Amino acid sequence: MMEAGEGIRARIIAPLLLLGFVVLIYYPSLNVDFIFDDMPNIVLNPAVHPAGINDLERVLTSGVSADRPLALFSFALNYLADGLNVFGYHLVNITIHAVNTILLYFILFMLPGFNRPLKKAVSPGDPGDRISWSFYGAALWATNPAQTQAVTYIVQRMTSMAAMFYLFAILAHILYRRERISGRAASFAIVFAFILGLGAKEIILSLPAALILIDFCLFPRKAKKHILPHAAALGVAAVIGLIILKGHLPDMFAPCPGRNFSPWERVMSQWRILWHYLGIFFLPLPSRLHLTYGIEPSRGLFAPWSTITGLLAIIAAVATALMVRGKRPLITLAVLFYFLAQAIEASFVNLELAFIHRLYLPTIFSPLLLLPRPENVKRIKKTGPILLIVIALFSYWTVQRNLEWNASPSFWAANIKRGADTARAKNNLAASLIDNGRLREALPVIEAGLKIAVRDEDLAMLTYNRGYALFYLRRYPESEEAFRRVAKKFGTYRHTFVYLALLQLKKGRREAALKIASLLENNTHTAYQGRIIRSRVASDEKEFAAAEKHLLTAKKETTGAPIYVRQRVSLELARLYLKWGKNDRAYETFLGITREFPQNYSVWRLIYLMLKNGGDRRNAARVKGFLLSKGVKLNQSTRQTEGK
């Protein structure tokens, strides 16, 4: 039994210290912008933009990540609390990571081997050593900079939230096996966690097998009594998995939709990628951390040769782990759990080949490979200083990584420089440069991306962004060529036809522009674009009231539309007020745009100029400092006001 002081240290002081670590190293992430898949899942997803409590049910009808409703529901609550202000989103992500860290600490603290060894009596060691052992294990996992992609990357709340329920279920299972809670309470907790985890991410499907693995490694005698419940749990997980797959397995040798690999090639690729992940986890230098990885898929067992080598290494690791189970059960657990928890995302599912947020859950037991065995827990006093140095180093690298996330252009430039030289990465760098007013810098990045783009999605985005940048650089013939290419292959992609109409107006072809407007108005989804064009025609003819009427109608019609649609209409309205000479109304409209989406830096630049020219030096300086911190150049042309 622990003394009262030890109990306080174990249950209060150690968890509070872990909480402090997490808050300290993730504090720099609180103002990191939305990026990458945050855009379709959160920023551009109307289902998570409720106007009130009654709109929360729209999460269930989301066309994006609809099979993860609990995660989407949490994004909707963030939006309800403070719109698209990233602070609240990051605060929730950090809180989830802190909860996961504390759950992991208690899991490690409750593992058998300290005072209930598997086979023979051993010295349990000082209870304080046991607390330190558990603390170091949780801290090594929590501070590892590889975890930033599951914490700082807002949309990957899906991963950390699913992991939270996973860890909760594991803790309940171990408490039951240690006879701290009843079987009924444990069953309720595990089923509850499993159901909620399914609403966050499908990785929870491996939970039943993970609980069997824990029994196999740590409670082999008790596990024999629960063969039927274990089999039932696995069966339920398998059925749910089939339901998620809609009862159909893919053609293993046909290309995955939108990918340059087949399901079987993806599986083979994972044999080497899983080792790549482990290398990053145990040596997580910031220079090795990318958001995306330009890894070529395996085309055969020997193409590349590391494919078969990776498979043989997995077989050898699993075999070795099984051989040492009797003497090193925690080593067996750490190794087998890593491969088990990777199984869902390392399978034939149609996902990108590699993302390091997939390390988050599988590595929860990996720090055990660096800690003394429970029966030798007294050695923690000797290894403690070394472990503290490692934790401090991890913490420093995590802070560095979070600071990298804060400036989008440099973040993507570093991502590409470190080897993630993909069309998608280049498009994201180009888009961030455009957003920050650095149009000329964006063009060569776009050209390089177009040379390697294969997927239609990448081709559409890159070509569209090329036309957009050229338009605001006044290179109109080249811009028109780019937009016509997009229109020919991808139809009414974003605002392609609006730009084609504006280019007609640049040539003085009013009727051609109005013809495009009429075509757009025939479709409910693009009618607002037709009104934008008519507003432009009216404002060119000094008919400002008529132009305003077109835009106010468009604004009313797009109330529940994606944010890029609403922002476009508002930007057009602000532009009209500037031309009309109604600067106060333009200023208020610009402020409304930034309140809705604080990352609209082109509008912040216009606000800065309006404040500066109006003599409000104090607020102009504040806006300038904000823009410079985001890498926005203020000496670029400010004609880029319409938005993408």
Cα 108 from chain centre: 27
Structural domain that includes position 248: 4-34+84-252+260-364+385-403
Report which of 35, 38, 36, 81 is spatially closest to residue 56, judged by C-alpha positions. Answer: 81
CA 348 to CA 7: how far, in whole Å? Answer: 47
Q: Could you tell me if residue 104 is inside a domain?
A: yes
Q: Per DSSP, what are the bridge partners of residue 303? A: 300
165: tokens are 């329920």
Q: Could you tell me if residue 499 is inside a domain?
A: no
Question: With the C-alpha atoms ordered 542, 543, 549, 554, is the resulting torsion angle positive or negative?
Answer: negative
CA 466 to CA 431: how far, in whole Å? Answer: 10
Cα 421 from chain centre: 19
Q: Give the chain's domain count.
A: 1
Helix (H) or strand (E) holding 92: helix 86-110
CA 333 to CA 340: how far, in whole Å? Answer: 10
Are the CB atoms for 364 and 147 separated by under 8 Å? no
Q: Could you tell me if residue 614 is inside a domain?
A: no
The pTM of this model reads: 0.87
Are the CB atoms for 100 and 162 separated by under 8 Å? no
What residue type is assigned to position 382 of the chain? K
Residues of the chain where predicted confidence (pLDDT) is lower than 70: 1-7, 113-127, 222-234, 236-239, 241-248, 635-644
At residue 5, the pLDDT reads 54
Largest Cα separation within the chain, whole Å, is 92
CA 542 to CA 3: how far, in whole Å? Answer: 83
CA 437 to CA 639: how far, in whole Å? Answer: 10
DSSP single-letter state for residue 250: -
Q: Could you tell me if residue 549 is inside a domain?
A: no
**H-assigned helices in 473-562:** 476-490, 496-506, 510-521, 527-540, 544-557
Q: Could you tell me if residue 530 is inside a domain?
A: no
Are the CB atoms for 493 and 464 separated by under 8 Å? yes
At residue 628, the pLDDT reads 82
At residue 115, the pLDDT reads 40
Q: Could you tell me if residue 432 is inside a domain?
A: no
Q: Could you tell me if residue 189 is inside a domain?
A: yes
Q: Could you tell me if residue 578 is inside a domain?
A: no
Query: Per the omega criterion (within 30 degrees of 0), is the bond before 257 cis?
Result: no
Helix (H) or strand (E) holding 384: helix 380-405
- Per the listing, tokens 């080897």 go with 419
CB atoms within 10 A of CB 323: 11
488 Cβ contact partners less than 8 Å away, ≥ 6 residues apart: none
153: tokens are 């990357």
Helix, strand, or coil (residue 303) = strand
Helix, strand, or coil (residue 300) = strand
Q: Per DSSP, what are the bridge partners of residue 300? A: 303
Show contacts of 440-444: CB within 8 Å, 24+ apart.
440/473, 442/469, 443/469, 443/470, 443/473
